[in-house]
Structure 1
Amino acid sequence: MAKRRKKQQRKTNWLVIGAIVVGSILLLIGLTALAFQEPAQLDLGKYCQNNPENCVARGPADAAVTMVEVSDYGCPHCKNYNLDTAPILDAAYEGAPVRWVVLPFALPGQTGDYPTMATAVASLCANEQGAFWQFHPAAFKLMDTPALFNTREGWLLTAESLGLDMEAFSSCLDNNNYEDVIRANINAAQNAGISATPSFSINGEILRGNQPVDVFMQRIDSFLN
């Protein structure tokens, strides 16, 4: 009897140990899966819809397609998109249910600052006077003139050429009203999985880089058809 009890105790002990080991393995697997689980990505179209003061949009609010542009004013590929690709897309989808949105944004520099933050702020100052869509490509053109690029003089000359109220525009620059907006947009772009420019959110799907026009059109058409 004593031997039988000892045998049963050993069997019970092994079962307990086995259960602990299996439980530990399952817990480890669960924690590992959790650690490598990708966070849910933010839909920038919905972000701009919920925070209209943070974005600039044109086109019907109920459009079948919403394309959000994320560009940095010091990015050459962003310049190429705005000066070459964007006008072609505008013409191709004139009158179509497409909503064009820009998320004013700035990339971090090597020292952790945001070199083009002030130009992004200037674009929103122009937006106060309804001139964002004219100022936006013009700000990229300033890259052709290094002495004016990303400078107050360059923004003022651009604003003057667009016929803006210069006193109001200068006051907006001085007050720096929009830096918090740009920083919120930077966080939103990161939460959407964007770390480089130009990037685009087309109905929540991310398209990276200044792709050929056909690539943009194929993606847009897939939602229109």
Structure 2
Amino acid sequence: MKAILTAAALLTTTLPAMAFDPASMSDAEKAAFGSAVRDYLMENPEVLVEAINGMEARRMADEAKNDKLLVEQNKDAIFNDGKSWVGGNPDGDITLVEFVDYRCGYCKRVNPELEELIQSDGNIRFIIKEFPILTAESEMAARFAVAVQQVSGPEAYKKVHDALMSLNGPVNLQSLTTIAEAAGADAKAAIDQMNGEEVQEVLRANKQLAQGMNIQGTPTFIINGEMLRGIPQVGMKAAVEQIREQES
């Protein structure tokens, strides 16, 4: 119905302001006008397509503008919370933040591309935000990853993160212990730590940040001042290049 009304509005934009007053039309005139609109749309369907595309473009532009405002309002929590893992080039001209869930298929799919981009670009500061939202295993994996960082440091965390991103089997104490040992982390200390308040504080802060920014899915990326909800269709490398060009 909204699309029909939009097309009707387009049809009448060339008429004088006083020539179109629905309230003053008789039933017969309204019926005739409706028939004319239907006939026009049947003969010119591209008008309806253009109207819908225009409305969608405006909606997306409004959402992008709002997302930029959300990033600006939450920039300290996003880029400098002092608790999230930070890698890549700490002095890079681009800061890329990922909200990730270890049981998210899309996160796993884009991870190799993301890692290759950070390595080959050499000028990207990379921040990981643990955001478990899918399953109980998501929560368990995130708790363990944060605990590893707290008890064994950022290098061990990154190895555990990479292993969890490529893990196809179940997340349980056995698989987490194996992953931690392969990463050179203290598995027992991490397991003891993972249900503690210090870990919970990190995950709670991430969830509150995501809620405030209306982030409801993973992966979600923030690249400098832009927010990308999901994997960009143009690819991660092209998305970064576009933002660089906009800011240069």
Question: TM (normalized to structure 2)?
Answer: 0.62
Residue 65 of structure 1 corresponds to 94
Shift, 1:80, TM fit: 1.3
Residue 136 of structure 1 corresponds to 161
Shift, 1:59, TM fit: 4.2
Q: Give distance in 1, aligned partners of 2:196 and 2:210.
A: 25
Residue 239 of structure 2 corresponds to 216
Q: Give distance in 2, aligned partners of 1:140 and 1:79.
A: 6
SS at match of 1:116: helix
Work out whether 1:195 is the aligned partner of 2:216: yes
Name the one with the larger helix percent: 2
> What are the ranges of 5 or more consecutive residues in structure 1 without an aligned counterpart?
1-37
Q: Give distance in 2, aligned partners of 1:163 and 1:121.
A: 18
What do the CA deviations read for 1:129-166 (whole angstroms, capped 9, x no partner)?
A: 12121111211222x22xxx222221111001112223
Shift, 1:215, TM fit: 3.0
What do the CA deviations read for 1:59-118 (whole angstroms, capped 9, x no partner)?
A: 455542211101111100101122x21222122212x2x210011111155xxxx55112
- Tell me if the contact between 1:72 and 1:198 (Cα under 8 Å) persists in the aligned partners: yes
Q: Give distance in 1, aligned partners of 2:214 and 2:92.
A: 24
SS at match of 2:198: coil
Aligned length: 176
Residue 131 of structure 2 corresponds to 105
Q: Give distance in 2, aligned partners of 1:222 and 1:189.
A: 27
Work out whether 1:89 is the aligned partner of 2:117: yes
SS at match of 1:106: coil
Output the amino acid matched with 1:201: I
Question: TM (normalized to structure 1)?
Answer: 0.68
* Bigger RCO (CA 8 Å, 6+ sep): 1
Output the amino acid matched with 2:133: L
Output the amino acid matched with 1:88: E
Output the amino acid matched with 2:236: V
Q: 2:85 aligns with which of 56, 63, 69?
A: 56
Q: Give distance in 2, aligned partners of 1:195 and 1:174.
A: 24
Q: Give distance in 2, aligned partners of 1:62 and 1:189.
A: 25
Distance 1:87 1:49, change over 3 A: closer
Distance 1:134 1:223, change over 3 A: farther
Output the amino acid matched with 1:217: V
Q: Describe how 1:179-194 pairs up with structure 2 within 5 A.
A: 179-194=200-215
Q: 2:225 aligns with which of 204, 209, 214?
A: 204
Instruction: Specify the structure having the higher radius of gyration (Cα).
Output: 1
Identity %: 25
Output the amino acid matched with 1:125: A
- Tell me if the contact between 2:98 and 2:221 (Cα under 8 Å) persists in the aligned partners: yes
